[in-house]
Structure formats: C-alpha cells, structure tokens
Structure 1
Amino acid sequence: MQCVQSVSYSVVVNGRPGKKFYPSRGLRQGDPLSPYLFLICVEGLSQMATLNEWRSMYEILEGYEKASGQKLNKQKTSIFFSTNTKENVKSEIYKEAGSYICDRYEKYLGLPAIVGRSKYNALRGLKERVWKRIQNWKNGFLSKVGKEILIKAVLQAIPTYTMSVFKLPQRLCGEIEQLFSKFW
C-alpha cells in the first residue's frame, strides 16, 4: 500500500487553496492505476484451481479493501474459468463468491480481457469500427481537405487507445491503412 494511495482534492477560494479532502469511493475513471490493478487480479485469479485458493485470494482482496477503503463491486464482477476447470470447483467458487460466471470472452475498458493465440482475431474489431465510421460519412460531399481532417482527427484516433496497451499485428495495421487509402 506504500505505492497505492488515493487522490486528494483542494478547492481554491480567493486565490488560496482550502483544506484537503479525500474521495471516499474507488479510483477515478481513467486512472492509470486501474488497468494494472485489474491485471494483478487477473494474473492471480487465473492461476487458481481450488476453493481454498479462492479463499486465499479473497482474503487478499479484503485486506486491500480495509487498507484502501475501496470495495469490490460484486455487481460489476464476473468470473471466467478456463475450460479445464472442473464443474464442481466452478460451482463451489460461485456459491462462495456470489459473482456472475461468464462463459465467453469479455472486454475491460473496451479491450479484450483475454487475447488468446490470435491477436489479430482479438483486435480485428478495430478495423470494423474504422469501416463503420467511414460508411457513415457522405463521401461524395467531402473535399480532399475535409477527408484529410476526418482521417487525422477521427479515423487515426480509433486505434490509439488500443495501441497504448497492445502492439497491433502488422496485418491489421496494413488493413486499416488500406481503408484509409480507399477513403482518401
């Protein structure tokens, strides 16, 4: 907990900062720490195979809750089991955890939580998002300058967040560039 602390706020009144106060709930949306806390939990939880291991992990989460004042929101929590997890283990953990068990890959902050063997397949939704955006524009009414602005301001921004987390496959980059070229 020496590395993790919450933000503090102070209101400036008549040019002077007032008394500091601390928010009472969670990390701020977009906080750079959020994905790392998620990954720490995913790495630990993904190695579990028994109810005792779940209890150990839950004790760690409870310790974090007590130390930080932040609480696990069970309504927003889901558990994903690997295919080799036994059904009785799944049901035991589910009964104790009280969370939702998901049977498909889900996203976290708009990115795939599990990439798997093919990064291209996991991230090809980027290409589809670019294509949908291009299809929404009336191509015949745009000048070259208008198209350039749309490419630079809108289309190139779509994969930016994903590229801050994943190195995009060259094949996917090439296909997205082809969409830009056709639009241009």
Structure 2
Amino acid sequence: MLKGLRKGDPLTPFLYIIMAEGLTRLMRLRCFELASGLKTNFFKSCFGVVGIERSEVERFAHLLNCRLMEVPFMYMSISIGANPRLESTWRPIIGKIQKKLGSWKQSMLSMATRVCLIKFVLTSLPLFYLAFFKLSNKVAKQIVTI
C-alpha cells in the first residue's frame, strides 16, 4: 500500500490533523511553562529554515515573534545551508584536528600511543560532519597532509 493521499480524498481532515498537531505542541509547551515556572522567550529564539522561500520564512518568524537566522547558520556545530565543497565549511573540523595533533606533539607520547590516538580520536572527529556533507577531494587531501 502506498503512503500519502489517494486520489479523491478530501484534504480537510489532513489539514485538520496538521493544525491539531501544532496546537497540541503549543499546549504541551504551555503546560511545561505552568508546571515549571519557566517560560519560553520567543524574542530570544531564532528561526532558520533552508529550502523555503524567504518571504514564507519571514512570515513564520514574524508569526512566532522570533528573529530570523541568515543562511548559512550554525546548528549543533554544523553549518546549515553551507556549500560542503567549500573549504570554509570544513574549517572547524580541520581546526579541531590541528589542535588535537598540536597538543599530542607537545606531550611525551610513545609512537604506539600516538598511532592509537590518531586511529580512534582523529578518525571520529569528521564523522559527524560526514553524516551531513560529502567530503571533497581537496579537503580530504588537506586533512591527510595534517
């Protein structure tokens, strides 16, 4: 069976479900505010979306009374909306690798310990980025030469 709407299905129930879901989340947020005494400050919050027209994003940000994030923006140390082929997108990871290697060079570690650290620590650093972006050959060569 295929997912989605079948031909001839009325849209009204589906639109109701979408709206009810959003309202339910707002009600849960309000219950949290009442129970904890904390309150969400939407004015401090930011709103950022990729792949939607700018006018729509501005409308949603105004509706929520949030600031609008400019693309590319950082979320969980990932540059959202950035071009993964550019070296600047990968600079944070390259900087982390250089910093780790620099600290290990200064300490008196045996060669076996350094190899072990490189194998397990440095190879895991770019994995989070690689889950989102495809690594370009230029950046891969730069990481290898470090």
TM-score (structure 2 length as normaliser): 0.59
Q: Which residue of 2 aligns with 1:133?
A: 100
Q: Which residue of 1 aligns with 2:120?
A: 153
The percent identity for this pair of structures is 17
Question: Would you say the 8 A contact 1:74–1:98 is kept in 2?
Answer: no
Q: Which residue of 1 aligns with 2:137?
A: 170
Q: Alignment partner of 2:131: what SS?
A: helix
Going from structure 1 to structure 2, the CA distance change for 1:173 and 1:63 (only over 3 Å counts) comes to same
Amino acid at match of 1:108: Y
Matched, 1:107 2:69: no
Amino acid at match of 1:63: E
Give the Cα separation in 1 of the matches to 2:130 and 2:84.
18
Question: Would you say the 8 A contact 1:124–1:172 is kept in 2?
Answer: no
Q: Deviations along 1:131-150, whole A, 9 cap, x unmatched? A: 11112224461211011011
Quote the offset at 1:101 in angstroms: 2.1
Give the Cα separation in 2 of the matches to 1:157 and 1:65.
40
Q: Deviations along 1:48-106, whole A, 9 cap, x unmatched? A: xxxxxxxxxxx947634528x865x6648423489x957xx94x654422112234632
Going from structure 1 to structure 2, the CA distance change for 1:111 and 1:150 (only over 3 Å counts) comes to same
Q: How many residues align?
A: 116
- Match for 2:21 among 48, 63, 66? 63
- Match for 1:79 among 47, 68, 92? 47
Q: Alignment partner of 1:154: what SS?
A: helix
Amino acid at match of 1:163: L
Amino acid at match of 1:105: P
Going from structure 1 to structure 2, the CA distance change for 1:157 and 1:138 (only over 3 Å counts) comes to same
Unaligned runs of 5+ in 1: 4-58, 180-184
Give the Cα separation in 2 of the matches to 1:168 and 1:70.
40
Amino acid at match of 2:24: K
Going from structure 1 to structure 2, the CA distance change for 1:166 and 1:117 (only over 3 Å counts) comes to closer
Going from structure 1 to structure 2, the CA distance change for 1:178 and 1:110 (only over 3 Å counts) comes to same
Give the Cα separation in 2 of the matches to 1:144 and 1:164.
30
Amino acid at match of 2:92: G
Q: Alignment partner of 1:112: what SS?
A: strand
Question: Would you say the 8 A contact 1:79–1:101 is kept in 2?
Answer: yes
Amino acid at match of 2:124: A
Going from structure 1 to structure 2, the CA distance change for 1:133 and 1:97 (only over 3 Å counts) comes to same
Quote the offset at 1:130 in angstroms: 0.5
Q: Deviations along 1:125-177, whole A, 9 cap, x unmatched? A: 21111111112224461211011011012111100111122211111111111
Question: Would you say the 8 A contact 1:64–1:70 is kept in 2?
Answer: no
